[in-house]
Amino acid sequence: MSPMLPKLWFKDFSDTSFVIRGENLTPIAFLVGYISQTDKTKAYVHFVGVDPEHRSEGLGKSLYEAFETKVLDLGANHIEAVTSPANTTSLRFHEAIGFMAKDTSGSLVLPTEASGHKDFDGIGEDRVLLSKTIRAQYPIA
């Protein structure tokens, strides 16, 4: 995955990136995201990785929660991400944590029911476009 993750990224976007460490402080899961430079209301999840030996432990969910809290604080009101239409695990995960998908028709549908945007990231690289509206919870006065 090296081309997707130049080392300098971890520094340049460290305030919106998170790592979870396990035994001996070994990284077992991480998320790299950013606030769009051209639209400060938009946060984008660039990459999430979870150690195969630590799947189904809720680490991905924890990372997204940390990211959501942080970008909300920085002024974003929605989160975007993309995934491959073939990656049903990812689609189910995003659906479970409240993401919707923008269908090719432009309407919002459940991620598991979305069709991929053909060749979105290059020839053969179809993508489902995911988004989640976020907002601060204010107590009723």
Q: Which residues bind its own copies (CB under 8 A)?
A: 1-8, 11-16, 34-39, 42, 44, 46, 80, 82, 120-122, 125, 127
Distance, CA of 56 to CA of 96 (rounded, Å): 13
How near is the Cβ of 58 to its own copies at its closest, in Å?
26
Question: What are the beta bridge partners of residue 102?
Answer: 108, 129
- Calculate Rg over the CA atoms of the chain: 16
CB nearer to its own copies: pick between 19 and 57: 19
CB nearer to its own copies: pick between 33 and 60: 33
Structure tokens at 138: 């204010």
Distance, CA of 15 to CA of 35 (rounded, Å): 10
How near is the Cβ of 138 to its own copies at its closest, in Å?
27
CB nearer to its own copies: pick between 28 and 131: 131
